[in-house]
Structure 1
Amino acid sequence: MTDRDLWQLSMREIADAVRSRSTTARAVIDAHLERIDAVNPAVNALTVVFHERARALADAVDAALDAGEDVGPLAGVPFTVKENIDLTWSASTSGWPFMAEAVPAKDATMVRRLLEAGAIPIGRGNMPDWGLRWDTDNDLFGRTLNPWDAFRVPGGSSGGDAVAVATGMTPLGLGNDYGGSLRLPAYAAGVCALRPSAGRIPAPMADITEPVSLSLQFFAVNGPIARTVDDLDTAFTVMHGADGSDPAALTLPHPAAYDGPRRVAVVRDPLGWGVDPQVAAAVDRAAAALAAAGWTVDDVEPPLIEEAATLWRRISTTEMVGAFLPGALPMPLSHGSTRYFLDNAEQTEVLASGEAYGGAWARRAVIAAAWERFQAEYPIVLGPVSARRMPEIGYDLSGPAATTELWRDHRLLVTVNFLGLPSVAVPTGLDEDGLPTGVQLIGPRNADHVSLAAGRDVEAALGGLTPVEARIAGAVA
């Protein structure tokens, strides 16, 4: 064991300690519940906390270990579940008040697999309603605060889980990523996230019974947020693979290590549109770390980023406009999400005909093929998560032009979604204001282990930043 508090340990450290009986699953859960009770009132990251149920599951793990049973590789590890991922004893609200009683009949596959591995759900992570904003706020649960700076957004849409991981309330959060919703809040919180390749982890609902838009099928994935790259890998190893329900999910080998070509394409300023100095410095640090670890590092930009990012925006906005307009919104969005949706739609040229919509998807194959060829030479693309530091609260609602500025800032972020590629976000130290910096490491399609390998090398050189004590007035942390 270690002299650190149990809530400061990684997933692997917790599981090893519980399985070796150096501690108990109950002690682990109690420590995390105490941490939640102390910190969550200040940051509002978790919407629901499963005090009694988590303790009961921990007692069951301990009883099974006492009986000599194998309880799984993640024995006693707490995890949180984003509000749009199915968990049978808690409503999957997606941040909507009208879904407050929508308790699913089955667990999502990723939740079920973690439970079978001995892990224990401890709470629900907050999100913007419908996952619509790069912020975390809704009318049902309110705003999640960034623990590093309460005036800056925590990112979205998996902001609650990222803040919970960063502040020691859980070592693992489950989220999803349609336009950066895992990597951006991880960047804001100073933690790690894995956006897997499309199809590697099954859908967030237990059964698909309603139509699913093409962009959700191709752009959205589910994945883990954790404080270490090893923990991302451990969680992915448990969760990935087809489940006989999600028709897009597939089972592929997940190697434990990477022994292929070690070449990195560094994109310091995608498209030359500008980045904050702190962002440029973070990419420099990560590039130096990879070079020191034996990677060949070249400054070269992958092809067609602007077209990929533009088509991501046009396709996603076209589908949202089709869902919500014309006429009254069929689902009541919060004021913030309504404002963002309308401002973004005003700034985006929608694909107004079937020919234009089909043509956009046809171009995706051309762009993806160009990236496939590029990554045969450069398996890793290193670049910013965002071109700016996290903006202050309210920036995304400050007018239509702000939605375009944010999209420009996130141009490399959404390119990854458009192409369905794996990407690992890792922290790269603090800037001069004590705010976390970070980068993303984009791997080849279905080669998630390559991104993880590069992430480990950056992490080994630059270290982690969390758990952090929340810098918020009134925090008991």
Structure 2
Amino acid sequence: MTEQAPGTSANADQLWRWSATRIADGIATGLISAREAVESSLARIDEVNPQLNALVEVSAEEALQAADEADRLTRSGAPLGPLHGVPVAIKVNSDQIGHATTNGVVAFKDAIATTDSPHVASLRQSGAILLARSNTPAFSYRWFTSNDLHGRTLNPWDATRTPGGSSGGAGSAVASGMVPIGHGNDIGGSVRHPAYACGVVGLRPTVGRVAGLYGPPDADPALSVQSMLVQGPLARTVADIRLAMRGLTAHDPRDPFHVPGAPAAAPAERPLRVALVRHHGVATPTAAVDDALTQAEGWLTDAGYVVEEVELPLLAEAYRLWYLLCMEEFRQIMPLVEEVGDEGMKKAAEGYYAVSSEWWGTQPSLTDYMNGYARRGTLIRMLGEFLQRYSTVLLPVSAEQAFEQDADIASIDSMRRVMAAQASMMAIPVLGFPAVSVPTGIAGGLPVGVQLLGRRFDEAGILDAAAVIEARAGTFTPIDPR
């Protein structure tokens, strides 16, 4: 695209195409204003959001006021935050002052937040303009973004396919150019899967890297939420993911697992070694997914990485363990789900429990649960030792491309297929290591990509590898809805 000179209407209309990095640089240097960036995003939202329903609340007046304040700060010569003036969407399961934390549930439509969650406060402090709220499934517990309160979010590549979940609104909004950065959170692929399904980049940081909070401030979060759930960004480029992470690392004492000022991992030994895991022993990747792995393998090899195909059976074990630890804790709120959840969430929960009972029984015991957490520690140690030899693991995000809408609730057999396809993605939250989803191309009209798993607190390492893949594959968004 040829961009116009600043100050022209054509330029202002096209700022929604710019990367977050370019927007931030443009505002800091006076090339563009924060108001122009916000107005361009708002115009794009008006154009495509009615079709996609990715953003369920748009705060135009609030955002424009924040943009004007950002422009005054720019003119004052004061220090600017890394995301100064950049439009960002916040997922509706996170507290943002003055907005309802609905989590996609009708009963929570009036749950107005009186404070920002730690990660929202960090983004605000970094200068981001909190422009809109993005959709999520009820209770943020599906890979399909639909609920009775806000409706269904569509994938801009194909309306018959899921945009992913649970941060599907963020993925759809970023891919279609409504915002350059979307906030998400990930306990079971909820950042990486929407990024994959929508053809953008999504990072799940190391547990402790970003201070976050999930759930009412007066509640005691489940242990899995405390120790596995992370906050992370979705964006169209790897550089924008790096920028977003600079805006997400402020200290906040409300997160008991946050590691303030967490250092980067020690440099890995050279040459950098990558373990390619094509098949995790649960679901066989489709031809398109397998081809994506082969492409990524070749690109990394060309860049000097040593790629070796290996088996890593602990991933399959960690995948099954997720359904013991997380779903047994989720069982505590099932009475609330039954009371206020929508039918999609209830059917999904029924499917999760039906399939996981094949491994853990219909009513796992306290001993099962305790032994599960004990085994989790062993698996974390095993992966840490494995990553002494390999700095990165290259593996599928999912064994399939974006699923057909509601594939998880079509039947128990369909849920079994969907769960199996997501196995490598589900294993990683149990283990607590960072992972990034990066697109490699388009196959059959849908995005396809790969996942890179790295050492704890080595987000920089996996983003370096992702940047190699992006440089060869190119970027595929923003796009108009199809």
Of 473, 476, 480, 1:462 maps to 473
TM-superposition CA deviations, 1:196-231 (whole Å, max 9, x none) = 011211123598431111111222111000011111
Alignment pair present for 1:392 and 2:400: no
Give TM-score scaled by structure 1 length. Answer: 0.94
TM-superposition CA deviations, 1:285-319 (whole Å, max 9, x none) = 11111111110000012241221111111222222
Aligned CA distance change for structure 1 residues 99 and 273 (closer, same or farther; 3 Å) = closer
Q: Which residue of 2 aligns with 1:364?
A: 376
Q: State the identity as a percent.
A: 37
User: Where does structure 1 differ by over 3 angstroms across 4 or more consecutive aligned residues?
Assistant: 1-4, 204-208, 252-261, 328-331
Q: Aligned residues, how many?
A: 468
Cα drift, residue 269 of structure 1: 2.0
> Distance in 1 between the 2:401 and 2:214 partners?
33
> Distance in 2 between the 1:51 and 1:411 partners?
40
Contact 1:237 1:254 in 2 (8 A): no
Q: Which residue of 2 aligns with 1:336?
A: 344
Three-state SS of the structure 2 residue aligned to 1:271 is coil
Contact 1:208 1:245 in 2 (8 A): no
Q: Which residue of 2 aligns with 1:267?
A: 277
Q: Which residue of 1 aligns with 2:47?
A: 38
Three-state SS of the structure 2 residue aligned to 1:376 is coil
Q: Which residue of 2 aligns with 1:119?
A: 128
> Distance in 2 between the 1:449 and 1:248 partners?
20
RMSD: 1.9
1:110-189 to 2 correspondences below 5 Å: 110-189=119-198
> Distance in 1 between the 2:134 and 2:87 partners?
13
> Distance in 2 between the 1:134 and 1:206 partners?
19
> Distance in 1 between the 2:455 and 2:337 partners?
39
Of 201, 205, 210, 2:219 maps to 210
Identify which range, 103-112 or 218-227, moves more after superposition.
103-112
> Distance in 2 between the 1:310 and 1:125 partners?
30
Q: Which residue of 2 aligns with 1:312?
A: 322
TM-superposition CA deviations, 1:105-147 (whole Å, max 9, x none) = 1112222222222210110000001011110000100000011
Three-state SS of the structure 1 residue aligned to 2:231 is strand
Contact 2:89 2:131 in 1 (8 A): yes
> Distance in 2 between the 1:408 and 1:58 partners?
45
Match of 2:75, as an amino acid?
Answer: D
Unaligned segments of structure 1, at least 5 residues? 472-477
> Distance in 2 between the 1:116 and 1:242 partners?
11
TM-superposition CA deviations, 1:322-369 (whole Å, max 9, x none) = 3315xx746411110111111221222246221111001000111111
Q: Which residue of 1 aligns with 2:65?
A: 56
Cα drift, residue 17 of structure 1: 0.4
Contact 1:258 1:449 in 2 (8 A): no
Aligned CA distance change for structure 1 residues 207 and 244 (closer, same or farther; 3 Å) = farther
TM-superposition CA deviations, 1:217-268 (whole Å, max 9, x none) = 2221110000111111111122125412211111244559966441100111
Of 296, 306, 321, 1:286 maps to 296
TM-superposition CA deviations, 1:149-193 (whole Å, max 9, x none) = 111111100000111000000000001001100000000100001
> Distance in 1 between the 2:57 and 2:431 partners?
34
Unaligned segments of structure 2, at least 5 residues? 5-10
Contact 2:320 2:356 in 1 (8 A): no
Of 421, 441, 448, 2:433 maps to 421
Match of 1:370, as an amino acid?
Answer: M
Contact 1:106 1:206 in 2 (8 A): no
Alignment pair present for 1:321 and 2:331: yes
Contact 2:16 2:40 in 1 (8 A): yes
Aligned CA distance change for structure 1 residues 258 and 426 (closer, same or farther; 3 Å) = farther
Contact 1:254 1:449 in 2 (8 A): no
Of 50, 56, 81, 2:90 maps to 81
> Distance in 2 between the 1:242 and 1:443 partners?
23
Q: Which residue of 2 aligns with 1:474?
A: none
Match of 2:377, as an amino acid?
Answer: A
Aligned CA distance change for structure 1 residues 268 and 355 (closer, same or farther; 3 Å) = same
> Distance in 1 between the 2:427 and 2:127 partners?
36
> Distance in 1 between the 2:258 and 2:322 partners?
21
> Distance in 1 between the 2:145 and 2:337 partners?
21
Of 345, 352, 355, 1:347 maps to 355
Of 232, 236, 240, 2:245 maps to 236
